[in-house]
Structure 1
């Protein structure tokens, strides 16, 4: 009897160790996959605040919560099953899809650069936003944000899937679920903090403490700069991630010239700075990927802006 109990306990211990190892594998895979998608994550966090601009403060967090729920629904109910089916039955389609997504990121980044340089912006009326509380307007803004999020979420999930494509089906599924949950929480948690930061600053500025008032006023004054910096970082991240995806994809399809060129530059630069070789190689390769992404995006933007029948700004 005691021998059977000991054997049972050994089995339970073995199963527990296996489960713990699986959790570690999922966590490690999710961390690796999520880190590759960080450029899209930054852009997602930079894009979303504009959808709550102009609403009264009491509606900002409820709107962000609605967008976050829609984002999670996009990832878990639509994108994740499609990604898993592709990886299981048509894995060869993943690299071209990733490259198309990379080209879209390059286009988005280059379009933002074009808007900044030319001063033109699609849909810009020149009017300042006003406080709007109408339910129809809120529904329209939430629906637009969720549609935009679908594209960014698809890129995040596709990049994440590429990092675990050689794992088992269930590990891929669990990793993508973890990535979907964590990245959605990260993006919309950060968006909520950004959107409410000026309200927090105003509250401090109207407080009794002299130091608190000074900090609050500084916080309110700095938020436009923070949002502007976040937008620039998001644009750079899109170009870097998109360019890198296309470079790697071309290399996988046997067109290794561009990838080898930038990789060779990175190695040469790293050898020239031996005390910071790893950082230098990463920096040069990142800048190279960003420039390549800007070139690809500029070609797409130019083609779209010169297409026949396009309405002028």
Structure 2
């Protein structure tokens, strides 16, 4: 009897692991597009840092991301049990914030300024100023990560919604760990491409293979700044796609008297959702500017 009970338990565990594996694969596929945005956005956040501080900042943001997911997983499970509407409402608020950040980043990128002067200012910071600047970067990155992580958690939760609680929890933890270490591992690799290129350029061995490595190293040194600049733009644009998708999803659920079905049909397109995100971000920035002026006058 004891032996049969043991094998029955072993079979149950195997079935559980198999179900979790299947759900994890489905969730990973569902979150793939968000991971691309997450990678671009977080790579953009480590731009304009001293070279020797890039990896410590990436690691600090990675730890913040783990804390975000440790908060979000039980919160999402609890709120989803009480009312899924609350979860989606919070995602819309987060989407508006992402679009707000995107517009501010876009304004900064399109405003003429001396990039070399900005780099010199960062390099000229003393230790206390550099720490404050890093802390600001980390805080902004962790805040943005919180919203992107929330979408990943909600997408995963929708995949496992009908599964038992234990399977939901384990699948969410697996996806959270894979996403966090996968994304920030790639970010760390991207920001150190120039170092890799420099080491390859310094290879002194003779032969065609060594010469090829030195040539590739030179390409990496030239490519790294351009790649970071490209990711900076991709990260900004990604905010509108991600945030706009949250807002568009809420608009699709609006009653017909408030939003016509003919207009809703356009909201399924990704480009339209990005435009919605850009518009929402512009309105949010405008309202924030008005509120700032009003508070400043009130305090005067």
- Partners of 1:109 and 1:238 within 8 A in 2: yes
- Partners of 2:55 and 2:188 within 8 A in 1: yes
- Give the aligned partner of residue 54 of structure 1: 50
Query: 2:205 matched to 1:205?
Result: no
The structure 2 residue matched to 1:153, chosen from 122, 145, 152, is: 145
The structure 2 residue matched to 1:69, chosen from 56, 63, 72, is: 63
Change (3 A) 1:60 1:152: closer
**Alpha-carbon separation, structure 2, partners of 1:160 and 1:13:** 31
Change (3 A) 1:296 1:144: same
**Alpha-carbon separation, structure 2, partners of 1:215 and 1:17:** 47
3-state SS in 2 of match to 1:207: coil
3-state SS in 1 of match to 2:293: coil
Number of aligned residue pairs? 280
**Alpha-carbon separation, structure 2, partners of 1:143 and 1:290:** 30
Query: 2:108 matched to 1:107?
Result: no
**Alpha-carbon separation, structure 2, partners of 1:144 and 1:158:** 21
Query: 2:253 matched to 1:252?
Result: yes
- Give the aligned partner of residue 280 of structure 2: 296
The structure 2 residue matched to 1:182, chosen from 178, 202, 206, is: 178
Query: 2:77 matched to 1:80?
Result: no
- Partners of 1:243 and 1:294 within 8 A in 2: yes
- Partners of 1:43 and 1:234 within 8 A in 2: yes
The structure 2 residue matched to 1:90, chosen from 83, 89, 96, is: 83
Deviations 1:131-157 (A, max 9, x none): 7784x5565455434422332332233
- Partners of 1:197 and 1:223 within 8 A in 2: yes
- Give the aligned partner of residue 20 of structure 2: 23
Offset at residue 102 of structure 1 (A): 1.1
Offset at residue 41 of structure 1 (A): 0.9
Q: Which moved more, 1:174-183 or 1:16-25?
A: 16-25
Change (3 A) 1:162 1:66: closer
Change (3 A) 1:223 1:158: same
Unaligned ranges ≥5, structure 2: 205-209
Offset at residue 227 of structure 1 (A): 0.7
- Partners of 2:252 and 2:264 within 8 A in 1: yes
- Give the aligned partner of residue 11 of structure 2: 14
Query: 2:123 matched to 1:130?
Result: yes
Offset at residue 174 of structure 1 (A): 2.2
Change (3 A) 1:160 1:170: farther
Offset at residue 220 of structure 1 (A): 0.7
Offset at residue 14 of structure 1 (A): 3.1
- Partners of 2:266 and 2:272 within 8 A in 1: no
**Alpha-carbon separation, structure 1, partners of 2:113 and 2:46:** 21
**Alpha-carbon separation, structure 2, partners of 1:74 and 1:171:** 21
Change (3 A) 1:101 1:111: same
Offset at residue 8 of structure 1 (A): 4.3
- Partners of 1:30 and 1:178 within 8 A in 2: no
Offset at residue 29 of structure 1 (A): 4.7
Offset at residue 46 of structure 1 (A): 2.1
Change (3 A) 1:133 1:119: closer
Unaligned ranges ≥5, structure 1: 264-284
- Give the aligned partner of residue 261 of structure 1: 266
- Partners of 1:99 and 1:249 within 8 A in 2: yes
TM-score of the aligned structures, taking structure 2 as reference length: 0.79
C-alpha RMSD of matched pairs (Å): 3.1
- Give the aligned partner of residue 222 of structure 2: 221
